[in-house]
Amino acid sequence: MSGQGFHVHGPHDHAVEHAAHGNDGFSNNIAVMTAILATVGAAFGYLGGATQNEAALYKNNAAIDKTEAANKWNYYQAKNARQNLAEVVMTLPGVDPKRYEADAARYKHDKEEIKKEAEKFEASAQEWNHKSDEAMHKHHQWALATTAEQIAISLAAITLLTRKKWMMGLAYGVAGVGLVLGGLAWFAAH
């Protein structure tokens, strides 16, 4: 409605307005069905968004752990280079090998600890990636359920305009498919 009182209605709005003023059971059923489907669809949409955010958080955690693993591997390589250098220096003529043996042994020991830490972060990154993949699968299930409910709402609007009972049955059928998909997503999520 504009400031001058000019109304713009679509055919669906007009039919709903007339149904509200009359005692049209068919239109009333469609209106109630549409409201219920919109509520269910909104809940499915919220759950789909929540699982998508969860997947993104898990993927972020995987990236953090993968970066930490890369840092540990770089540190491992630095210790390896120092160990190799100490071992080479020990073989040079005129150098006391005892002086560098302890360094080489320490670098070798340090490398083993660093390797364990790097492998731990790599395993953690894989775990986070797996959780992210699972959450994205759940998100897709919620998205399918939401889409089915939205299609059912559109079919309900067409039903209201055409007043075809078979179309109402089709709308109920698609809504039922959406509910089944939502139920599957729910049980997969819990």
Helix H or strand E segment including 178: helix 165-189
118-165 pLDDT tens trace: 999 999 999 999 999 999 999 999 999 999 999 999 999 999 999 999
Question: Distance between CA atoms of 160 and 12, rounded to whole angstroms?
Answer: 7
Spatial CA neighbour of 136 closest among 60, 59, 45 = 59
Please report whether residue 107 resides in a domain.
yes
Q: What is the mean pLDDT of the chain?
A: 89
Work out the pLDDT band at 188, boundaries 50, 70, 90: confident
- 90 exposed, middle or buried (CB, 10 Å; 0-12, 13-18, 19+)? middle
Residue 178 belongs to a domain: yes
* Residue 68 covered by a domain: yes
Give mean pLDDT, residues 112-119.
96
Residue 7 confidence (pLDDT) above 70: no
Tokens of 69: 């693993």
Express as a percent the part of the chain with pLDDT over 90: 73
User: 22-64: per-residue pLDDT in tens?
Assistant: 577 888 889 999 999 999 999 999 999 999 999 999 999 999 9
Query: What whole-number distance in Å separates Cα of residue 45 and Cα of residue 139?
Result: 9
Domain that holds residue 58: 33-188
Between residues 8 and 130, the one the model is more confident about = 130
Residue 27 lies inside a defined structural domain of this protein: no
Residue 24 lies in a domain: no
Contact between 143 and 104 (Cβ < 8 Å): no
What is the predicted pLDDT for the residue at 99?
A: 86
What pLDDT does 26 receive? 86
Residue 84 in any domain: the answer is: yes
What pLDDT, on the 0 to 100 scale, is given for residue 24?
78
Q: What percentage of the chain exceeds 70 in pLDDT?
A: 87
Name the pTM for this structure: 0.72
Q: Is residue 142 part of a domain?
A: yes
Pairwise CA distance, residues 132 & 144, whole Å: 18
Give the relative orientation of helices 97-162 and 25-91 as an angle to the nearest 10 degrees: 170
Angle at 18 between CA 17 and CA 19, to 5 degrees: 90
Output the pLDDT for position 2. 47
Number of structural domains the chain divides into: 1
Domain-embedded: residue 46: yes
